[in-house]
Structure 1
């Protein structure tokens, strides 16, 4: 299908989400990929990953970019040639891209019960307000993971740990935003984060 959702976060920031329903062939057909991108997609063993990769290139087109406008630096962080900031995500049947004048990060996750099993690996401070018996426990954990993954993508610094260096201020689903912090190397950084849910998935993004 074409674009699933477009969100104008503010005058400098836009999020676009794609629902991946097309075949690999249909996604590939209109694209003009760089050699390195073509080699990468052809080397993927999973067609799901291939389709995710290609759907991101379709999202780039929605922003007015092509694959040629996107490049990656050593830490794996994507950049755009015009200097705007970009972050990319895909999970199963959805992909997302955020483009902004400021530093940004984005993540899409499928809501799955097994996240409760690994909660202690990425949650510390947040256990002060989380209630494991609550109906929305898995949904809240998924938001926290998505925000922390977005922070990690934004900061792109090796050695950062979700549990120790990132924290998410209490939030509700009546609101769609909260504050999050990075506490790393003796410094604290404050960011605004937003989140939304659709079809059993959670999208979170962080604004610098």
Structure 2
């Protein structure tokens, strides 16, 4: 299928989401990979990972880029050669990218009950005792995890812990936005967060709060 969703966060920031339904051969058409990326995709044992990898190249094309425009630093963080900021995510049959002149992070997660078993590793569960049912708890925890993942990708500092250093302000599902704060190495930084849900998945993206869209503050 074509692009699943395009979101204009502000004039400098755009999100692109792909639902991976095509074959690897279809996704490979018209996409020229660098030698390094060709070796990477050839070494992938999972078919969904191979298809997801190629779908991200289609997302790059939607934004006006090619595979050769993308590179990764020593920490595994993606960058674009023209200086634009990019973050990339892949979860089962959905992939997404966010591009901006500002620092950005994005995460897509499937809503699964597995998150209930690992929640105490990334957030204090007592904060969510008022939720009406298990489904609501899974949804909220998935948003919180996605928000922390998006912020973590943006901050990119070794030693940063989800539970110890990143706090997500409580929110209502209907709001679609919240904020997050990092307390790390004696400094504090705050982040603006947007989230949306579709087909049993959650997408969360973030940017520094001083650069957040004015319309949403």
* Fold shared by both chains (TM-score > 0.5): yes
Q: Show CA shifts across 1:3-59 (max 9, x none).
A: 000000001100010000000111112100000000000000100100111110100
Are residues 1:80 and 2:41 paired? Answer: no
Q: Does 1:197 align with 2:197?
A: yes
Distance 1:5 1:133 in 2: 30
Q: CA deviation at 1:174?
A: 1.1
CA contact (8 A) 1:131 1:137 kept: no
Give aligned pairs, total: 207
User: Given that residues 128 and 137 in structure 2 are in contact (C-alpha distance below 8 angstroms), is that contact kept between their aligned partners in structure 1?
Assistant: no
Partner of 2:51: 51
List alignment gaps of at least 5 residues for structure 1: none
Cα distance in 2 for residues equivalent to 1:95 and 1:133: 31
C-alpha separation in 1, matches of 2:50 and 2:84: 25
Q: Which has the higher helix share?
A: 2
Q: Which residue of 2 aligns with 1:71?
A: 71
Q: 1:130 to 1:87 in 2, by over 3 A?
A: farther
In the TM superposition, structure 1's runs of 4+ consecutive aligned residues that sit over 6 Å from their partners are: none
Q: Which runs of 5 or more residues in structure 2 are unaligned?
A: 209-217
- The 1:58–1:118 alpha-carbon spacing in structure 2 relative to 1, beyond 3 Å, is same
Using structure 2 for the length normalisation, give the TM-score. Answer: 0.93
Partner Cα separation in structure 2 for residue 3 and residue 22 of structure 1: 12
1:128 aligned partner: 127
- Secondary structure of the residue aligned to 1:3 is coil
- Give the equivalent residue in structure 2 for 1:101: 101
After superposition, the CA RMSD in angstroms is 1.1
